[in-house]
Amino acid sequence: MNPPLKLAVVGHTNVGKTSLLRTLTRDIGFGEVSPRASTTRHVEGARLSVDGQALLELYDTPGLEDAIALLDYLERLDCPGERLDGPARLARFLDGSEARQRFEQEAKVLRQLLASDAGLYVIDAREPVLAKYRDELAVLAMAGRPLLPVLNFVAAGRHREDDWREALARLGLHARVAFDSVAPPLDGERRLYESLALLLEKARAPLQRLIDDHERQRQARRHSGARLIAELLLDCAACRRGVAAQPTLVQGAIRELHEAVRQREQRCVEALLRLYAFRPQDAQAGELPLLDGRWGDDLFNPETLRQLGLKVGGGMAAGAATGVGIDLLVGGITLGAAAVLGALLGGGAQTLRGYGARLKGKLKGQRELSVDDAVLRLLALRQQLLLQALEARGHAALDAIELAAPQEALWRQGKLPDALHRARAHPEWSALNPGARLQQPERQEQLDALSATLTSTT
Ligand SMILES: Nc1nc2c(ncn2[C@@H]2O[C@H](COP(=O)(O)OP(=O)(O)O)[C@@H](O)[C@H]2O)c(=O)[nH]1
Ligand SMILES: [Mg+2]
């Protein structure tokens, strides 16, 4: 088995070396990231494995601080008549006393680069190409290791990628990748490894394995993410609260339902953050702008009627689906409701036994409250936006994600997925209801269907 490929992450102080490592390892806790200079004082490493096989080791290094003075010093190391090549020059420097004193920090970096197969040279692409950076590259080039420049901070508006590209070419560095550790390009990691494979022939196979594995993991995360959202929506669509039709009780029930939905959404946010390996405080569910509740029209839901074995005309079913008939049994019987009632009675004892109690409750002024369609649409949109934000977020990001409410026009109207209409008629499908039976095959089926819809629209 081949030993893992070793990469040294090198560059000036504060250009995002530690941040790049966090993003490539998907580890928010790696090292210490800080806007202050020189937070990384020693060499720290991380290992990436696939199926238990270590493929890549990445080493963080302290920043190079005084490359101009070091280059001067290195250029004066030849004895009279001698012309050292780069590695010989560095070897002499590292054996000398200055490597333990004045240039101690730089010596650590160079030792690590010499112990590695290649270096990633991280650049803050917002910076002008200053002499100190050119000298840094000249010093690093002496190690005789392939160097891949990583132009970091390219998501920032004002960067100088073109200046850097030209300057790097003049130094003989023609491969490079654009990256941003906080908001990495979607294919940034793949391009980084592919460019590296061009510089290092022996690294091609392990890097390709890494690329493939990371793509598989990305797909698996998306799939699991869509499923977490589908669970949230199903729980909310099937949730119901019974309450006597008295204004104060009704207000209390609405508040209670509102709170249950809010907490359920927050649980989904936390699960998504865990799935993407971010911190719990990296995003919060926002306020729910509305929840009026929706009154027991589930009795007229086509799915309920189907369960009852009732055949109703298209107009009746459509009316029920759009909420016509809400409250009918409380306020007074309209034609639609009467038709259902008649059909129920006509359906015989068998049918009435199942639904009679709920129906009787309604007739006595007991009401059933459930979650608005608009709220379900809002939850779906908001969580899908969160999922997209998590996919695009680097593990070096420090700011929390703002979970703003999406535009009202988007969630006020529109069709609900069929799975949610069905869920309305199945209180036992909601973890928010007592007596939930979440393993029912039919629920799982609807969950799969809903996840698939969400995956295709995310
Ligand atoms: N916006 C943005 N900020 C970054 C990026 N990389 C690093 N930072 C920030 O730049 C600062 C220095 O980063 P750090 O990783 O500690 O740099 P190092 O000294 O080279 O290890 C920190 O405040 C990071 O959050 C990037 O690609 N984009
Ligand atoms: Mg650092």
Determine the pLDDT at residue 222.
95
Is the shortest distance between the CB of 105 and ligand 1 below 6 Å? Answer: no
Same domain, 14 and 155: yes
Same domain, 163 and 251: no
To the nearest 10 degrees (0 to 180), the angle between helices 131-141 and 67-75 is 50
Same domain, 185 and 298: no
Same domain, 80 and 140: yes
Instruction: Count the Cβ atoms, other than its own, within 10 Å of residue 413.
Output: 10
Is the shortest distance between the CB of 17 and ligand 1 below 6 Å? Answer: yes
Distances (CA, A) of 234 to 226, 308, 322, 401, 451: 12, 21, 19, 25, 11
- Select from 383, 367, 370, 353 the least CA-distant residue to 420: 370
- Residue 172 DSSP label: T
For residue 211, is it within any domain?
no
Q: Kindly give the distance from the C-alpha atom of residue 183 to the centroid of ligand 2, in angstroms, as a whole number.
A: 18
Ranges of residues in the chain whose predicted pLDDT is under 50: 297, 299-300, 309-339, 346-354
For residue 379, is it within any domain?
yes
Distances (CA, A) of 231 to 236, 267, 436: 9, 11, 13
Instruction: Count the Cβ atoms, other than its own, within 10 Å of residue 2.
Output: 11
DSSP assignment of 58-89 = EEE-PPB--HHHHHHHHHT-PPTT----HHHH
The beta-strand segments (E) located in 195-316 are 240-244, 294-295
Same domain, 75 and 151: yes
Same domain, 256 and 127: no
Tokens representing 186? Answer: 């979607």
Angle at 268 between CA 265 and CA 274, to 5 degrees: 145
Same domain, 274 and 190: no
For residue 223, is it within any domain?
no
Distances (CA, A) of 217 to 21, 49, 292, 386, 418: 18, 13, 40, 18, 29
Is the shortest distance between the CB of 398 and ligand 1 below 6 Å? Answer: yes
Is the shortest distance between the CB of 18 and ligand 1 below 6 Å? Answer: yes
97: Cα separation from own chain's centroid: 48
Same domain, 53 and 157: yes
**Model confidence over 21-55: pLDDT tens digits?**
999 999 998 888 777 666 566 778 999 999 999 99
Q: Tell me the residue range of the domain where 251 lies.
A: 239-457
Is the shortest distance between the CB of 304 and ligand 1 below 6 Å? Answer: no
Amino acid 108 reads K
Q: Kindly give the distance from the C-alpha atom of residue 398 to the centroid of ligand 2, in angstroms, as a whole number.
A: 15
Q: Kindly give the distance from the C-alpha atom of residue 341 to the centroid of ligand 2, in angstroms, as a whole number.
A: 72
How far is 158 from 154, CA to CA, in rounded Å?
A: 8
For residue 244, is it within any domain?
yes
Q: Kindly give the distance from the C-alpha atom of residue 13 to the centroid of ligand 1, in angstroms, as a whole number.
A: 10
Q: Kindly give the distance from the C-alpha atom of residue 361 to the centroid of ligand 2, in angstroms, as a whole number.
A: 66
For residue 230, is it within any domain?
no
Q: Which atom of ligand 1 is nearest to the CA of 37?
A: 19
Beta bridge partners of 283: 401
Which residues are CB-neighbours of 304 under 8 A, at least 6 positions away? 298, 355, 424, 425
Is the shortest distance between the CB of 16 and ligand 1 below 6 Å? Answer: yes
In this structure, are residues 7 and 148 in contact, taking their beta carbons and an 8 Å threshold?
A: no
Question: Which residue is closest in CA terms to ligand 1's atom 6?
Answer: 16
Same domain, 332 and 384: yes
For residue 95, is it within any domain?
yes
Distances (CA, A) of 227 to 222, 287, 306, 389, 433: 9, 23, 27, 17, 20
Determine the pLDDT at residue 372.
83
Is the shortest distance between the CB of 9 and ligand 1 below 6 Å? Answer: no
Q: Kindly give the distance from the C-alpha atom of residue 191 to the centroid of ligand 1, in angstroms, as a whole number.
A: 20
Q: Kindly give the distance from the C-alpha atom of residue 20 to the centroid of ligand 1, in angstroms, as a whole number.
A: 8
280: Cα separation from own chain's centroid: 12
The residue among 199, 229, 251 that closes a domain is 199
Is the shortest distance between the CB of 39 and ligand 1 below 6 Å? Answer: yes
Domain count, the chain: 2
For residue 329, is it within any domain?
yes
Same domain, 30 and 136: yes
Domain harbouring 105, CATH code: 3.40.50.300
- Mutational pocket test of ligand 1: of 9, 12, 14, the residue with most ligand atoms within 8 Å of the beta carbon: 14
Same domain, 182 and 111: yes
SS3 118: strand
For residue 37, is it within any domain?
yes
The residue among 199, 219, 253 that closes a domain is 199
Is the shortest distance between the CB of 424 and ligand 1 below 6 Å? Answer: no
Same domain, 195 and 243: no
Specify the residue for token string 């997209």: 388
The residue among 146, 180, 199 that closes a domain is 199
The 10 Å CB-count burial string (b at 16+, else e) for 59-87 is bbbbbbbbbbebbebbeebeeeeeebebe
